[in-house]
Structure 1
Amino acid sequence: MDFHPETKILIVDDVPTDIKVLASALSLDYRIFIATNGYDAINTAKKEAVDIVLLDVEMLEIDGFEVCKRLHDEKITRNIPVIFTSSRGSAEDIAQGLSLGAFYYLTKPLNIDLLKVIISAAVIRKNVQQHLCGKIHSFSCPCPLLSHIKEGRFSIRTFAEALDLSVFLSLNCPNPEKAAIGLREMLVNAIEHGNLGLTYHKKTLLNQSFQLEEERERLLALPENQSKQVMVWLSKGDREICFRIKDDGIGFDSAPYLNFSSERMLDTHGRGIAIAVNASFDHVQYHGSGNEVECVLRV
């Protein structure tokens, strides 16, 4: 497992012994900041530009759910992954935390090894989002030229191409950062599960062993996958922008993945399509066997 000492983690808890346990377990691998109430947590997250927030639920003044909501309501902190670390572990509590945008919800007593796995996954997602935003802001194509694009057809094969294309396509949208996140999730899903045939269970095992990136590159290099492409069509109208994405896979049952599922709420992956549906697009519909999807954004 790769650790990054420069990664800043904010521990938010009002129980000294719980703070001590977490800080002791993580201080060798990460830079640790501590807040003992919700207001201090929000201020510290802003001031220190932390990478991850480990957040208790039961605190005086404002509880963890309200802290999570306020963090995600503000532009400067909305992309910080929140991991709940709470003694409250009912299905309702977990669902509420995840519905507020938390990356994960762990219950006390904490499994530190699992926590480190979750932190690693959260850092990766945050870095991807930052990379997307950085590429959007540095894109050199003049905006007037983009306004003349009405239709387009594109083909990609690799994950790097998926990132670049999601950035370019997002520049055609009113909110590029919001659109880019959903587009990348859909394109990665088309390559990963469609063209490469990575199953949900297999990806779970690869995530747990930190071998996902290596396996994806191995599969991309196989002769049988060399010619597989993901096709993307862009269509811009006066009232909506439509993206149609089609992979060369056999398809899948998309219904369980269109919304956040209580059965998978504690998995470290499997939320990409739901994120696209709920946060990026106004309408998402799969067609045929499930290897073609239409994503619509109203303008």
Structure 2
Amino acid sequence: MAHTLLLVDDEPFNLELMSELLEDAGYQVQTAESGAEAWRLLEKEGDRYSSVLLDKMMPGMDGFEVLRRIKANAQLAFLPVIMQTAVGAAASVQEGLSQGAFYYLTKPFSREMLQAVVAAAVSHWDRHAYFRELANQQAEALGYLNEAFFTFRTHKEAQWVTAMLARACPHPERVATGLFELLVNAIEHGNLQLTYAEKTRLQAEGTWEAELERRLNDPTLGQHQVTLHYRRSRETISFTITDQGAGFDWQHFLDTEAISYLESHGRGILIARKLSFDDVHYQGNGNQVTADIWLIRPTPPASDANAAAPSADTH
């Protein structure tokens, strides 16, 4: 079934150009020439869209206001929003991502960049929809699971473990998407030792899947396993993921400004932190990460009531 995209821009020429490029790539498109029109469509039939391409600068209701409304709506909150603007300043990009934007395109952009970014967003939406469907299956018994360990090697195995454990959590489809992203990072960049730059190059060459399969069949790399430790208490659900890789510069990827916003991958940690979990923190050299869901939100000790505001997160 074809994916439907909502394109929002107050310039008819831009809408016509994007529509042509995306229809050529096999997508169906719906257009809106204002933020108000876009919001009416989203309120009425938001579930038919796989992604929204949203211009930042529009008269009346601008792109940021539409984005805020999307993220505040429980039925739309996980819809991938690609912000587009002629302003490429870091502060502008950071503002969009802090509001929940999934990607950020700076005009003018090429056909290849547009199609690559949309493909990544739609793939993310497909994964979310898949896990949402699995989460709807009956799995009440998982609510009584307090602790478990899992080991696995492949994406398919990680997918099954993710789908099962997410059903033990509030908002399982959100948890599943972020958890799977962290597991994929552990498999690809940890156990299989694929660097961010290598993945970028392999995807551009169209050889990514072949190289992934080759490494999974490697007699050394292919034997590496990911361990997932699931723990549930009255206050928290925690997932601790450990791979057998050498680690990575995880602090770089926790800083959203350090990410290249025009790449087609590299946002797994950001997705987990912003959309899926209440806390994500790495240990040591980066081959172990813990992601927490707060069932009861922690409160600071009474003695801290008059303390200064805490510093920025350094996890």
The TM-score, its normalising length taken from structure 1, stands at 0.89
2:40 corresponds, among 40, 43, 64, to: 43
Higher mean C-alpha displacement, 168-177 vs 206-215: 206-215
In structure 2, the residue matched to 1:76 is 75
Give me the whole-angstrom Cα distance separating, in 2, the residues matched to 1:200 and 1:169: 28
Runs of 4+ in 1 over 4 A off after TM superposition: none
Give me the whole-angstrom Cα distance separating, in 2, the residues matched to 1:240 and 1:176: 15
- Give the partner amino acid of 2:29: I
User: Are 1:95 and 1:262, in contact at CA under 8 Å, matched by a contact in 2?
Assistant: no
User: Are 1:85 and 1:110, in contact at CA under 8 Å, matched by a contact in 2?
Assistant: no
In structure 2, the residue matched to 1:249 is 245
Give me the whole-angstrom Cα distance separating, in 2, the residues matched to 1:247 and 1:19: 45
Give me the whole-angstrom Cα distance separating, in 2, the residues matched to 1:236 and 1:244: 12
In structure 1, the residue matched to 2:207 is 211
In structure 2, the residue matched to 1:187 is 183
In structure 2, relative to structure 1, the CA distance for the partners of 1:226 and 1:57 (3 Å cut) is: closer
Higher mean C-alpha displacement, 103-112 vs 158-167: 103-112
In structure 2, the residue matched to 1:132 is 131
Query: Identity of counterpart residues, as a percentage?
Result: 37
User: Are 2:94 and 2:257, in contact at CA under 8 Å, matched by a contact in 1?
Assistant: no
In structure 2, the residue matched to 1:282 is 278
How many equivalent residue pairs? 292
Higher mean C-alpha displacement, 117-126 vs 15-24: 15-24
In structure 2, relative to structure 1, the CA distance for the partners of 1:80 and 1:298 (3 Å cut) is: closer
- Give the partner amino acid of 2:68: K
User: Are 1:259 and 1:278, in contact at CA under 8 Å, matched by a contact in 2?
Assistant: no
Find out whether 1:158 has 2:154 as its counterpart: yes
| Consecutive unaligned residues in structure 1, runs of 5 or more | none
| Consecutive unaligned residues in structure 2, runs of 5 or more | 296-315
Higher mean C-alpha displacement, 47-56 vs 244-253: 47-56
In structure 1, the residue matched to 2:51 is 52
Residues 94-118 of structure 1: CA distance to partner in whole angstroms, max 9, x if unpaired? 2212222222222222312211111
Give me the whole-angstrom Cα distance separating, in 1, the residues matched to 2:291 and 2:102: 24
The TM-score, its normalising length taken from structure 2, stands at 0.85
Residues 35-66 of structure 1: CA distance to partner in whole angstroms, max 9, x if unpaired? 11112112323426122222112212100111
